[in-house]
Amino acid sequence: MATEAKRLKVEAGSELLQDFLRWCDSVGLLLSDKVYVSVSREETVADYGMVAKDNIAEGEVLFTIPRSALLHQETAKVSTLLKKEKSSLESSSGWVPLLLALLCEYTSSQSQWKPYLSLWSDFEKLDHPMFWPKEERDSQLKGTGIPEAVDTDLFNIRQEYTDIVLPFMIRHPDVWNPDTHTLELYTQLVAFVMAYSFQEPKEEDDEEEKTSSPPMMVPMADMLNHVSNHNANLEFTPDSLKMVSVRHINKGEEVFNTYGQMANWQLLHMYGFTESYLSNNNDTADIPVFCLYKAAQQDAQSDSDGELVEGRWEVLRQMVKDNGAFVFSKHGCLTDSELHTALKVLCMSKEELSEFKDNEGWEEEYEDDDEISQAFSIEGLPKLKASWKRLIHEAARLTLRSYGDGEMEETLVNGDRVLAEDKAALERLSSRQRRALQVRLGQKLILYRLVEHTKS
């Protein structure tokens, strides 16, 4: 029965795909003869994928998308209205105009992009953690930071819809209907934009601007799946967007784009999938600033030491956010300058703390960024000052324990590692459980390696 349902789903997907490819021809989207699009395998972000049907050399254009085929707030049929009322649609996400455009186009049988949007007829493939039951999300992803990020997302989405989108739709009943354009659909479209949209890179002259380019939907480009070791990349030109091979691609090989340097927790949170923890070289784990503070508290040997720790913490809180974190990869600390500053503050003597307060900071001294980066690399960590090393060690242990319920760090790591290496056990897991495992284990291994490299 399950096999029959899967077959029917593939057949339906193939019909929708053919409609989409005919639409591509009609809008001037040029697809190379060396590639083809097909219904994709399981465990990917897209329902579809692109495969090479001939050998492809580096630098070849795989497809070209005219800018007129892109879907965003300036090309949608409600573009004039959205532009006119732009000031009333401002939000922290900056996505409201695009989402209103998508609400309109997605539910319109006359939409210019109907064959494209029909590829996601019910968003059933979207399986971001925001769609998991809260209990499952909290248990499977405990310690990873994803449950907290999702809670924030859902709160912001609801607030944005209630405070901005709903009043706007009520003012324009001829275009939007709250009974059709519901919070549920709005949330699904947020996930759709998270997983499939692209942002145009800023020009060099615009890099200092704080606002980023608004997201846009790019038909065909969003059908490519992601791996960190990708073989194609999207290039932006004034008239079109082009997918270009960045290395030789063999006949029969899947064409992969990149969504950037993404850790597995980011891939799952934003796109609903993960890479293997073994192959994702961009994987990271966070150590909360608060864990470094707790480690310093544990290091205090007396009441006077405890008071000194509190004094240092008060200083550090003015320099970093309480909910901030230090980011570690497989190769060391990626936020090395911030960690360097935090360790300097949390290890100040009483005299140094007093002098720091009197002078409202440190006297200016030259610090070599390359030396700091090397000091906090995985190779440099064992050579750090004993006091700094001890704080990182204990903070990493505290962070590791947040994944479990009182187990020792080694037990927390080995339990998931054994599971990940047992093919039969993996087969018995749901797709959500497998993805959560990749996130947890990748992070735990980074933290455990950190613990090992900072032992006294």
Residue 10 confidence (pLDDT): 42
pTM of the model: 0.89
From 11-20, 248-257, 395-404, the region with the lowest mean pLDDT: 11-20
Domain positions in the chain are 12-70+218-271, 78-215, 284-454
| Helix boundaries (H) for 141-239 | 146-160, 166-171, 183-196
- Which pLDDT tens digit goes with each residue over 410-447? 888 999 999 999 999 999 999 999 999 999 999 999 99
Residue 206 confidence (pLDDT): 53
Domain 12-70+218-271 shares a fold with domain 284-454: no
- Which pLDDT tens digit goes with each residue over 325-357? 999 999 999 999 999 999 999 999 999 888 888
- Which pLDDT tens digit goes with each residue over 154-163? 999 999 999 9
* Fold type of domain 12-70+218-271: set domain protein methyltransferase, domain 1 (3.90.1410)
- Which pLDDT tens digit goes with each residue over 191-222? 999 999 999 987 765 545 556 788 999 999 99
- Which pLDDT tens digit goes with each residue over 82-129? 999 999 999 999 999 999 999 999 999 999 999 999 998 778 778 999
CATH assignment of 78-215?
3.90.1410.10
Query: Residue 29 contacts by C-beta under 8 Å, 6 or more apart in sequence?
Result: 63, 64, 65, 66, 69, 219, 220
- Which pLDDT tens digit goes with each residue over 222-273? 999 888 889 999 999 999 999 999 999 999 999 999 888 899 999 999 999 9
Question: In whole angstroms, what is the distance from residue 120 CA to residue 365 CA?
Answer: 56
Residue 11 confidence (pLDDT): 47
Residue 7 has pLDDT above 50, yes or no: no
Residue 13 confidence (pLDDT): 56
Residue 364 confidence (pLDDT): 63
Is CATH 3.90.1420.10 correct for 284-454? Answer: yes
Closest CA to 224 of 200, 181, 195: 195
Closest CA to 436 of 206, 128, 222, 203: 128
Average predicted confidence (pLDDT) for the chain: 90
Question: In whole angstroms, what is the distance from residue 108 CA to residue 130 CA?
Answer: 26
- Which pLDDT tens digit goes with each residue over 47-61? 688 999 999 999 999
